[in-house]
């Protein structure tokens, strides 16, 4: 019974546990979309010996983020830029940070300039996840 708590509370979010079919359900993305995002280095799911993708909970979170960013009108390049900035090690952050932040602001501004945020987006919303919980 101890295992229960261990598994649900402490299991590493980076453990590759989920096949693509489950991730599709959890994120409401198509396999095509998920593979496309991987192709553009937004995610890097693990692979089995037989080359099948296995996703971690972190991967699922990232995919939900990507979906949200896309709904907000960002494109893949913009999302990737954000992730690249995020993954920049702390020591390197000090100097190039301001530069990159300015760049990011410009980029986001550019993105949103001519795009009215579609409020009627049929996309994902927090409450949509409710069917996975109780």
The residue ranges that bind a copy of itself (CB under 8 A) are: 1-4, 6-13, 15, 17-19, 21-22, 26, 48, 54, 57-58, 60-61, 64-65, 126, 129, 132-134
| Residue 20 or 108 with smaller CB distance to DNA | 20
Binds 86, which of DNA, a copy of itself, none (CB < 5 to 8 A, cut-off by type)? none
Binds 82, which of DNA, a copy of itself, none (CB < 5 to 8 A, cut-off by type)? none
Residue of 17, 46, 21 lying closest to 31 (CA atoms): 21
| Residue 26 or 53 with smaller CB distance to DNA | 53
Rounded distance between C-alpha atoms, residue 28 and residue 16, angstroms: 19
Binds 122, which of a copy of itself, DNA, none (CB < 5 to 8 A, cut-off by type)? none
| Residue 25 or 98 with smaller CB distance to a copy of itself | 25
| Residue 38 or 61 with smaller CB distance to a copy of itself | 61
**100, two tokens:** 């990159």
CA distances from residue 41 to 63, 112, 132 in whole angstroms, order as listed: 12, 23, 28
Return the SS3 of 51: coil
Residue of 123, 125, 130, 129 lying closest to 26 (CA atoms): 129
């Amino acid at each position: 019974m101890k295992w229960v708590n261990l598994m649900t509370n402490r299991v590493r979010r980076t453990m590759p546990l989920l096949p693509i079919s489950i991730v599709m359900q959890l994120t409401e993305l198509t396999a095509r979309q998920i593979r496309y995002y991987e192709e553009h280095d937004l995610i890097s799911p693990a692979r089995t010996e037989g080359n099948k993708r296995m996703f971690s909970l972190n991967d699922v979170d990232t995919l939900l983020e990507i979906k949200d960013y896309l709904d907000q009108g960002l494109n893949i390049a913009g999302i990737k830029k954000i992730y690249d900035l995020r993954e920049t090690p702390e020591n390197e952050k000090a100097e190039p940070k301001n530069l990159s932040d300015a760049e990011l602001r410009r980029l986001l501004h550019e993105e949103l300039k001519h795009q009215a945020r579609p409020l009627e987006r049929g996309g994902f919303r927090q409450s949509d996840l409710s069917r996975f919980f109780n």
